[in-house]
A and B are shown apart, each in its own frame.
Chain A
Amino acid sequence: MQREKMMKKKMPYLLLGLAVLFPATAAAAPTGQALAFTCAGCHGTDGSSVGPSSPSIAGMDPEVFIDAMQGYKFDERNSTIMNRIAKGYNDEQIKSMAWFFAKQTLRLKPQKYDAEMAKLGAKLHDEYCEKCHEDGGKPGDAGTLAGQWMPYLHYTMEDFIDGRREYPRKMRRKVDAAIEAEGDRAMPALIHYYGSQH
């Protein structure tokens, strides 16, 4: 009886505690930031990759990020393991991660490049690529090229050219024009140019 009375007395305080905490507990689903931590293994801390073939995704345009993730998730984009990983996230989680990475500062590591080729690449970029990949290919609404890992760029361009990845028709026109202008040197030159930026 005494105990029951005690419980009755303490009940408001218990309720108070629950009520005060409730808003915090309701928001306790994994945040975009928490989800993004799992990407660090390949894409580096906060998306600045240290590896040569995993691209940096820090500062990445969120819609480009979402396009990529959705492309992997539905097997519409060529990948090694990203198509498996992407299937584990829902749209909300992908969008939250996209916003998280977009806000991260891209920390680039210097890469070895051929200065001659980079010079030619700069010329080609200005002529064929700059309109979409603004500011020398810095992170923007058409993706991140400047400072991106050169092997990744190389594989990606191969995917485009060899038909393993959907080739935007305007991009195809421009790439074809660049190759027509400079032959086989065009792609390496552009990759050296992007690799030269850091």
Chain B
Amino acid sequence: MPKTVSRLATWLIPFFLILVVHSVHGATEPGISILGEEPPEGFDPLTGERIISNERCLTCHGDEQMKTDVRDDGSEVKIFVHSKQIRESVHGELNCNSCHITIDRVPHRKAPAVIVGCLDCHRETWEEVKDDPDGKHERLKVVNESIDSYMQSIHAQPNSLDQSRTNATCYDCHEAHNVGELGSIQRAEKRLKNPEACGKCHEQQLEDYRTSVHGVAVLEQKDSESAVCSDCHTTHEIDSPETDKAKLAITKNCGDCHEEAQRTYFDSYHGQVHRLGYTNTAKCHDCHGSHKVKGEDDPTSEIHANNRLENCRVCHEDANENFLTFWPHGDADDRENYPGLWFFKLFMQTLIFSVMAFFWVHVLLWLYREVMDRLQGKGFIEDLDKPDIVYFRRFPVVWRWIHGLFAISTMTLILTGTTLLFAHTGWAKAVVVFLGGTEMEGIIHRTAAVIWLGIFFVHLMIAVTNIIREGKDFKWFGSTSMLPNWKDWSDLKGMFRWFIGKGERPQFSHWTYWQKFDYWAPFWGAGVIGISGIMLFAPEKTALILPGWMFNIATLVHAEEALLAAIFLNSVHFFNVHFRPERFPMSTTIFTGAIPFEEFRHDHREEYERLAATGEINNYLVRKPSRRADLAASFITTVLIMAGLALLTLVLIGLVTSPN
């Protein structure tokens, strides 16, 4: 045993000695050494590279007496660097050759290539410091985001005339030695220099800008708060101004300063289309001019009274003088400047609020009453032992078709119209993309509008023909007439009494008061929406007879009335017809044309009694609709209800998220 130990030790000791000697040998060489020589003073002990002090560089480059040098070809080159500026800049603590990495000898043995790569250094530095808890490098994160934006920009693309270089790089815009921290004097100075920096390449644009209100403020009055190039075009995410992305960004950026103008613009048709992400509409610079933007009092301004019509005619070729009275930034909330618009908005909103408030209270009370009645076993309850066999024919075929087409066209109009009204929402943008853009959406909206109005007039003709056919027998305020009468008023009061448990449910005639409301509402709607819609349909024709501000009024009332219809039909109408407990989940009568006899007797008791007394009731009794007809009606009704509820949801999302 001791022998084994000693033999083991004999092998282990040398092994450990080797380890120790080698590790000691290694530990004595922390830096670079060549043939036993380590770098002398002034050279990096780890790499052996020369350490070039900034002072050494500034011996020549900081000499104010000699700011230029001459190249081999005889051309002059600026070599001066303001040493104080660079010390005070964000890069003040760096060595010159941290950025000027090609400089390894001073004095330069050959004319040096000025190669500076900002990107990698900022990216690598951010990678190193991004987890620092003190957060003092947060700005570097912004720099890196800017780099990412720049890399996607037109400036980072290869130059078409010289593909070995990009269109522009960091130091074309940033004064390399004078990059100030946020809030520093350099930043304010840099803003003032921004137009000149861009103008080095974009010369014509700079000349135009000099004449603009922005240019005069910045370049002559040294007002760093006024707009410089990057305020509109963005700093790093620069795109060709011909792209939609750039046009959208520019409009958005105008609004950063001109908030009110942008708000009112977005309320206009032009602004709504633009906000959906489409640029084939009037944008800020289309009317105001881009680089030459000037106030309306300046005779050379594009929005000066003398030049404005020409401006409109760029898009509206047949625009006449009446276009000049259009309010491109009309504000319905500004009573002082736009009293007409203000009044119409007040009127329409009062109408919407009062109608909706009344009917939503009506809905809630009705729901409460029916639920309470059902809990007590009262109300109309289907008798399962006596299935419906006999039905009452309530609607002839023509009315069923008219209602179906009317519902589909109304929903189409709501969908396509509210995308403009709620252009700020994501769903509106998605719908427009789905439909194929704003132009296609316009075609769909107008087609649906023609169908809608066509149906309305066809219905009117049929109704008038029916009245004429009946002649003297037609009772204007009879039970089958749609005209409101005193019974409707007493039914309404009776219903409210029933709601609160103070009376019996009224016995209704052929048409109830809420059905008459549903019927007459489209008359009002057709008037308001139809007339305003036709005006907006063909603006050049409208302007032949009406002043331009009528477009503002028309846009406003068209939208408000549509909103009322959208909310009313898809909530109140749906409840009255489909969702109240006696009918839930739906009534298919408008598609089958027939209502179960017992249900008719319950809902229209007075009419039933009148018909029963005269014996006319037999003329209306029909067989239960076939199973196939029943299924088809259920299917169509379900689809329309689901579509309506979806539209209601979208409209409510739009209203709740509306920035105004």
Residues of A within 8 A of B (CB): 12-13, 15-16, 19-20, 23, 27, 29-33, 35, 62-63, 67, 92-93, 95-97, 99-100, 102-103, 131-132, 134, 141-142, 168-170
Contacts and interface: CB of A to CB of B under 8 A. Distances in A.
B376 to A, nearest CB: 104
Contacts of B18: 16, 19-20
A141 to B, nearest CB: 6
B14 A19 contact: yes
A99 B14 contact: no
A100 B37 contact: yes
A13 B17 CA distance: 11
Interface string B32-49: 001111111101000010
A33 B36 contact: yes
The SS class assigned to the B binding surface is mixed
Contact of B107 (A19, A92, A132): A132
Contact of A131 (B13, B40, B50, B59): B59
Interface string B119-159: 00000000000000000000000000000000000000000
The number of chain B residues touching the other chain, given as a range, is 20 to 34
The SS class assigned to the A binding surface is helix
Contacts of B628: none
A131 B14 contact: no
Given A99-B34, A99-B39, A16 B14 contact: yes
A13 B9 CA distance: 12
Contact of A16 (B17, B34, B59): B17
A30 B107 contact: no
A131 B41 CA distance: 21
B39 A19 contact: no
B36 A169 contact: no
A142 B107 contact: yes
A35 B22 CA distance: 26
B35 A29 contact: yes
12 contacts: A12-B10, A16-B14, A20-B17, A31-B36, A31-B37, A32-B36, A32-B37, A95-B48, A96-B36, A96-B37, A99-B34, A141-B56
A141 B50 contact: yes
Nearest to B34: A96
A5 B60 CA distance: 77
B34 A95 contact: yes
B21 A99 contact: no
Interface of B: 10-11, 13-14, 17-18, 21-22, 25, 34-41, 43, 48, 50, 56, 59-60, 63, 72, 105-107, 109
Of B14, B35, B40, B56, which is in contact with the most chain A CB atoms at under 10 Å from its CB?
B35
A13 B18 CA distance: 12
A33 to B, nearest CB: 6
Contacts of B107: 131-132, 141-142, 168, 170
Given A63-B50, A131-B59, A142-B107, A99 B38 contact: yes
A142 B21 CA distance: 43
Contacts of B60: 131
Contacts of B13: 16
A99 B49 CA distance: 12
List of 7 A-B pairs having minimum Cβ-Cβ separation, nearest first? A31-B36, A96-B35, A102-B40, A16-B14, A32-B37, A99-B37, A23-B25
A35 B59 contact: no
B62 to A, nearest CB: 11
Contacts of B72: 169
Given A103-B40, A142-B107, A35 B35 contact: yes
Contacts of A141: 50, 56, 105-107
Nearest to B39: A99
Contacts of B63: 131
Given A96-B36, A99-B43, A141-B105, 4 more contacts: A16-B18, A31-B37, A92-B34, A168-B107
Of B17, B34, B39, which is in contact with the most chain A CB atoms at under 10 Å from its CB?
B34
B35 A31 contact: yes
A186 B59 CA distance: 24
A56 B10 CA distance: 56
B484 to A, nearest CB: 103
Contacts of A62: 39-40, 43
Contacts of A16: 13-14, 17-18
Contact of B35 (A30, A63, A170): A30
B105 A12 contact: no
Nearest to A171: B107
Nearest to A35: B35
Contacts of B41: 102-103
A162 B18 CA distance: 61
Contacts of B21: 19-20, 23
B59 A93 contact: no
